[in-house]
Amino acid sequence: MVRWLYVRKHPSQKFNIDFGQEVIRLYDEWDAFEVKVSAGNASPSEQKIYDSCVRTSFGAVNKSKIPVSFRLLSSAADITQGKVEQIVRIAADQANVSGDLGQFQAAIEPRLTCAIHWATQYLPEDERAHIRDRFSGEAYEQLDEVSKKGLEILSAQLDENWTWSG
C-alpha cells in the first residue's frame, strides 16, 4: 500500500499516511485499480505504476490471492474482537466460498492479518463496535426504522448463520 501511495505521486509531492478510516478508502481505491489493470483497461502509465507496486528487485510483493474487501475484513474483525475463525467464516460466506476454510484463510493473507491489526490496534475506540451482553430496549428505541429492520433481519438469520465455534 505504501509503495502505491509513493509511486502514484510526483516525487516532489507530499503525501500522508493516515491510519484512521482513510485506510479503508485506500484499500477500496487499490482494489478498483487492481480490477482495472486485471481487465486490461489500464493505460501504459497505470500498468507501470501497478508493476512498480507489486514487484521489487527482489521479486513479487506478498499479496492476497483472493482480494476480499478490507472493509469487510476490518468490520468483521471489529465485531468479532479479532477472532480469526469467525472473520474467515464471515468472509467465506460473503465470497460464496465453501469447503476448506483453512485454504481460504491462507488465500486472503496478508490482508486478513492487516485488517485484524488495524481494527484492534488503530480503529479509534469511539468508532469500534461494542457488543452488549444483553438487549437494551432503551438503545433499540433510539434507532431509526431502517436500523430496526436491519436488526430484525439479523436476528431472524442468526441461528442458521452464527455459531461461537465458527
Name the strand (E) or helix (H) holding 55. Answer: strand 55-56
The pLDDT-based confidence of 83 (bands split at 50, 70, 90) is very high
How confident is the model over 106-128, as a mean pLDDT?
Answer: 92
Contacts of residue 81, defined as CB under 8 A and 6 or more positions apart, other chains included, come to 120, 131
pLDDT above 60 (res 165): no
Average model confidence (pLDDT) across the chain: 88
More confident residue, 141 or 133: 141
pLDDT number for residue 71: 94
- Is the pLDDT at 126 greater than 80? The verdict is yes
pTM over 0.85: no
Q: Where are the domains positioned within the chain?
A: 2-60, 70-149
- The sign one gets for the Cα dihedral 85, 88, 91, 96 is negative
Any alpha helices (H) in the chain, and if so which ranges? 2-7, 22-38, 44-54, 70-79, 84-94, 101-107, 111-117, 137-141, 145-161
Mean pLDDT throughout 86-98?
Answer: 92
Q: Write the pLDDT tens digit of every residue in 4-61.
A: 777 777 778 887 777 777 888 889 999 999 999 999 999 999 999 999 889 988 999 8
Q: What is the mean pLDDT of residues 86-112?
A: 93
Tell me: pLDDT of 163 over 70: no
Whether 162 shows a pLDDT value over 70: the answer reads no
Q: Measure the CA–CA gap between 135 and 91, rounded to whole angstroms.
A: 26
Look at residue 41 in the predicted model and tell me its pLDDT. Answer: 97
